Amino acid sequence: MSDINQLISIIIPVFNESGSIGFLLEEVINVMAANKFNFELIVVNDGSKDNTQQILKQLTYKINELSVISLRKNYGQTAAMAAGFDHSKGDIVITLDGDLQNDPNDMPKLISEINNGYDLICGWRFDRKDKLVNRKIPSKIANKLIAHVTGLKLHDYGCSLKAFKKEIIDDIKLYGELHRFLPVLANIEGARIKEIKVNHRSRQYGSSKYGIDRTFRVLMDLLTVWFMTKFLTRPMYGFGFVGMISILISLAMSSYLIVLKIMGEDIGNRPLLMFSLILGIAGVQLFSFGLLSELLIRTYHESQDRPIYRIREIQGKTKN
């Protein structure tokens, strides 16, 4: 059930979507009005080069709920979403693409699930209307890889149609291509997450903004998210453990070589000697990285006054 005083923030990042944005906003308004939701519309124009900005300016005169944030250049979807998040005031925040492929009629389902106690509802484009080779196959591989690496089992990380509790968004900082990993970042913050099937429509206007180069950026960000998932508050466990193993193996090899030297054998030309030295140096470096990372993490948390835990609720009386 929805609270009549509950404000819904709808964030739509757009880049060269002049053909679709007017139709999309009309659909969104109709759906929200039919369900009697209190809402605000935030469209982030991510440096569009067509006449998207002119169309949005005209629409602001017609739509009272509409705010348009125009970025100075094309920063990418992650930055556009971050701008929308920073300026949203709603209790629930919904994101969707500006190309009409996400169906606004699914928004009430997402809002209902949030009000059932979840912190993040992810859309799953169960019957995806995209090209098989260029989009569907790479996306399916990426989804399986992300799920395996992060441990969060979702079918569709790339669907922009999502609903968040505002408090979860406030705890997440976005950069790079991390908008795809929003569920993982929310999971780090202890969010209750659910995935539901949503309608997906064929693109009618414009063209896809994604190229093969985006795959490599996603892979790099996946490594970042993996490290954050495993070692955000304890980087020494990662670097230090591998460093100690390297040092111990190096010591074992060195001891063996010393014994051979004492027995009169020539060890100067043995590859094992070089390998032992490399492992020892690498182990010391990794251990040092772990210590430095611990200091950086401590500085990060303390400088931002960022807690290492998240409280869902406190019941009863508490004392300071």
Does residue 179 form part of some domain?
yes
How many domains is the chain partitioned into structurally? 2
Q: Give the Cα separation of 43 and 14 in Å (integer).
A: 7
Query: Tens digits of per-residue pLDDT, 121-173?
Result: 999 998 887 776 666 777 788 888 888 888 899 999 889 999 999 999 988 88
Whether residue 50 sits in one domain with residue 199: yes
Q: From first to last of its 320 residues, what are the pLDDT tens digits of the chain? A: 556 679 999 999 999 999 899 999 999 999 999 999 999 999 999 999 989 999 999 999 999 999 999 998 888 888 899 899 989 999 999 999 998 999 999 999 999 999 999 999 999 998 887 776 666 777 788 888 888 888 899 999 889 999 999 999 988 888 767 788 899 989 988 899 999 999 998 877 766 655 555 666 677 777 777 777 777 667 777 788 888 899 999 999 999 989 988 888 888 888 888 999 999 999 899 888 888 877 776 676 566 666 655 555 554 554 44
Whether residue 199 sits in one domain with residue 287: no
Whether residue 296 sits in one domain with residue 259: yes
- DSSP assignment string, the chain: ---TT-EEEEEEEESS-TTTHHHHHHHHHHHHHHTT-EEEEEEEE-S-SSSHHHHHHHHHHH-TTEEEEE-SS---HHHHHHHHHHH---SEEEE--SSS-B-GGGHHHHHHHHHTT-SEEEEEETT--S-IIIIIHHHHHHHHHHHHHH----S-SS---EEEEHHHHHT----TTGGGGHHHHHHHTT--EEEEEE-B----SS-----THHHHHHHHHHHHHHHHHHHSS-HHHHHHHHHHHHHHHHHHHHHHHHHHHHTT---TT-HHHHHHHHHHHHHHHHHHHHHHHHHHHHHHHHHTT--SS------S----
Whether residue 273 sits in one domain with residue 227: no
CATH number of the structural domain spanning residue 93 = 3.90.550.10
Whether residue 295 sits in one domain with residue 214: no
Query: Tens digits of per-residue pLDDT, 159-182?
Result: 999 999 999 998 888 876 778 889
- Domain that includes residue 45, residue range: 7-231
Whether residue 201 sits in one domain with residue 150: yes
Does residue 313 form part of some domain?
no
